[in-house]
Amino acid sequence: MSSASVIVIGAGISGVSAAKVLAENGVEDILILEATDRIGGRIHKQEFGDVSVELGAGWIAGVGGKESNPVWELASRLNLRTCFSDYTNARYNIYDRSGEIFPTRFAADSYKKAVDSAILKLKSLEAQCAGQVADEAPSSPKTPIELAIDFILHDFEMAEVEPISTYVDFGEREFLVADERGYECLLYKMAEEFLFTSHGNILDNRLKLNKVVREIQQSKNGVLVKTEDGSEYEANYVIVSASIGVLQSDLLSFQPPLPRWKTEAIQKCDVMVYTKIFLKFPHCFWPCGPGQEFFIYAHEQRGYFTFWQHMENAYPGSNILVVTLTNEQSKRVEAQSEEETLKEAMSVLRDMFGPTVPYATDILVPRWWNNRFQRGCYSNYPMISDNQLLHNIKAPVGRIFFTGEHTSEKFSGYVHGGYLAGMDTSKSLLEEIKQSLLLQPLLAFTESLTLKHNNPDSQIHSTNVSFISGTS
Ligand SMILES: Cc1cc2nc3c(=O)[nH]c(=O)nc-3n(C[C@H](O)[C@H](O)[C@H](O)COP(=O)(O)OP(=O)(O)OC[C@H]3O[C@@H](n4cnc5c(N)ncnc54)[C@H](O)[C@@H]3O)c2cc1C
């Protein structure tokens, strides 16, 4: 059995940034246990059709504002190749099932109606929470264009509680990562700064890949972590960076079990599923002019192959289209074969661009929902929720600390949320370690008093000083 001061579970951006802060602050006997054979977690590039595509996070969101997004800074230092994404025209590129584009005026009016309805919905929800009845009931989307816009608004643009800190603090611009090294090179760069690496490979034995943690046992004196392959590791503290979806599943068990306030909070947080399906074609048959990068398909089924993007801006000549599905549609597609999904996508494309559209030569369907080390894509806090929920999800339980995008107060769901959360958690843990070190002489003193107390000749009473702290 090997031991460390701190074990970090998971090597996504939050786990790596947490470990880096510990190492930089003198806690060097750390151990990072990662379930898969790579670092990066939900930042994951894959070769597809001669280019590198991002299966997970693709954009650096929140750029150009008064404060600098730390992930944008990291990307700039690495000269990461990115492309500005201009979504403003997407709402005017809405196709019906016969391949006609809805007239601009009609699309703009439908969009405005949907925004008004979304605002009414929010007000009605607020009124409901306050035990009141809203003045006006929101209308539900019915026609294909209304359903398509509702999908774009609720599953993309307005999926978060306003105001959205990412855009307020860091700016409203979004940049798509289009770099052969992948978004994940940011993590390798961070790892290089505190782990031993050679030619881009991490050779440090403080990072252990293919270690699936199944059990975390904590006692007064420390923590014991057990992995699926039968290994056991001891530490003074543990930082768990697994996703909220994993915490909701039964992959990890805690001894003693986590308290109810913790498990209830974990179960209350929604998990979004977001699937980017990549399709490679022999040639490009879609419009590629300015303002045409994003386009929308209006169907009577909400979210059915609705949101499309071509990759000609990111990788000219790649002949790749991406269609994004969410939640129920994502789960449905994950459960079927690539051939079935391709057939559906082709029928949608032929609706939009005609029967001569060539069949795709390749398809890539990421499966984030069925991945037992993810169980979804990112946390989505209920529209109306108090800070207590996030506080409870984030709060440590004894020697077990929690991090990850879902613990970020302002930026949950984003890469920069994970990055900053990792730093925050480690700072709290360092504070805890400092406090316990300050307490050590006191503990030694009380222990000596206890010894004297146990001695029948002694008249002094004992005091219990526990090292376990945090919310329990
Ligand atoms: C499809 C998709 C699109 C996205 N798009 C964007 C975007 O455009 N912009 C943006 O900013 N964000 C985006 N995100 C969100 C972003 O990727 C995440 O917020 C961020 O990467 C989360 O980092 P993390 O460290 O919190 O978690 P993770 O990256 O999930 O890291 C957790 C790690 O823990 C490991 N693990 C889990 N269980 C165990 C276990 N039992 N034992 C050991 N290890 C374990 C996992 O393998 C993983 O490596 C997207 C996510 C997805 C999936």
pLDDT per residue as tens digits for the range 423-441: 999 999 999 999 988 877 7
**Binding annotation:** 14, 34-35, 213
Q: What is the pLDDT of residue 460?
A: 34
Q: Is the pLDDT of residue 462 over 60?
A: no
Q: In angstroms, rounded to a whole number, what is the distance separating the alpha carbons of residues 127 and 186?
A: 44
- Ligand 1 mean position, distance from CA 16 (Å): 12
Q: What is the pLDDT of residue 56?
A: 98
**Binding annotation for FAD:** 14, 34-35, 213
Question: Which residues contact ligand 1 via a Cβ below 6 A?
Answer: 9-15, 33-36, 41-43, 56-59, 61, 212-213, 241-243, 246, 251-252, 274, 276, 368, 373-374, 377-378, 404-405, 413-415, 417-418
Q: State which ligand 1 atom lies nearest to the alpha carbon of 405.
A: 26
Q: Is the pLDDT of residue 143 over 80?
A: yes
Q: In angstroms, rounded to a whole number, what is the distance separating the alpha carbons of residues 57 and 338?
A: 22
Q: Is the pLDDT of residue 449 over 80?
A: no
User: Average pLDDT in the 213-224 region?
Assistant: 96
Q: Is the pLDDT of residue 167 over 70?
A: yes
Q: What is the pLDDT of residue 468?
A: 31
Q: State which ligand 1 atom lies nearest to the alpha carbon of 421.
A: 26
Residue 35: pLDDT band by 50, 70, 90 thresholds? very high
- Ligand 1 mean position, distance from CA 11 (Å): 9
Q: What is the pLDDT of residue 464?
A: 29
- Ligand 1 mean position, distance from CA 356 (Å): 39
Q: What is the pLDDT of residue 161?
A: 60
Residue 160: pLDDT band by 50, 70, 90 thresholds? low
Q: Cα-flanking dihedrals φ and ψ of residue 392, to 5°?
A: -70, -35
Model pLDDT for residues 246-260, shown as the tens digit of each residue:
999 999 999 999 999
Q: State which ligand 1 atom lies nearest to the alpha carbon of 415.
A: 11
Residue 455: pLDDT band by 50, 70, 90 thresholds? low
Percent above pLDDT 90 for the chain: 77
* CATH hierarchy code of domain 2-44+183-268+381-433: 3.50.50.60
Q: What is the pLDDT of residue 157?
A: 62
Looking at ligand 1, which residue's alpha carbon is closest to its atom 6?
A: 57
- Ligand 1 mean position, distance from CA 399 (Å): 23
Q: State which ligand 1 atom lies nearest to the alpha carbon of 377.
A: 53
**Residue written as tokens 């050679």?**
198
Looking at ligand 1, which residue's alpha carbon is closest to its atom 13?
A: 57
Q: State which ligand 1 atom lies nearest to the alpha carbon of 422.
A: 25
The domain spans of the chain are 2-44+183-268+381-433, 59-65+80-175+271-364
Mutate to test the pocket of ligand 1, among 415, 416, 419, 424 (most ligand atoms within 8 A of CB): 415
Looking at ligand 1, which residue's alpha carbon is closest to its atom 15?
A: 414
- Ligand 1 mean position, distance from CA 367 (Å): 13
Model pLDDT for residues 265-293, shown as the tens digit of each residue:
999 999 999 999 999 999 999 999 999 99
Q: What is the pLDDT of residue 469?
A: 32
- Integer angstrom CA distances of residue 90 from 14, 234, 277, 297, 353: 32, 53, 18, 10, 17
Model pLDDT for residues 60-115, shown as the tens digit of each residue:
999 999 999 999 999 999 999 999 999 888 989 999 999 999 999 999 999 888 88
- Ligand 1 mean position, distance from CA 378 (Å): 7
- Ligand 1 mean position, distance from CA 57 (Å): 8
User: Average pLDDT in the 20-25 region?
Assistant: 97
- Ligand 1 mean position, distance from CA 243 (Å): 7
Q: State which ligand 1 atom lies nearest to the alpha carbon of 33.
A: 43
Non-local (6+) Cβ contacts of 450 within 8 A are: 462
Residue 451: pLDDT band by 50, 70, 90 thresholds? low
CATH architecture of 59-65+80-175+271-364: Alpha-Beta Complex (3.90)
For 439, the token pair is 């307490």
Q: Across-strand partners of 198?
A: 201
Long-range contacts of the stretch 326-332 (C-beta < 8 A, 24+): 326/151, 326/155, 326/272, 326/273, 326/274, 326/275, 327/155, 327/272, 327/273, 327/303, 328/303, 329/275, 329/303, 329/304, 330/273, 330/274, 330/275, 330/368, 330/369, 331/273, 331/369
Residue 467: pLDDT band by 50, 70, 90 thresholds? very low
Q: State which ligand 1 atom lies nearest to the alpha carbon of 374.
A: 30
Q: In angstroms, rounded to a whole number, what is the distance separating the alpha carbons of residues 149 and 128?
A: 25
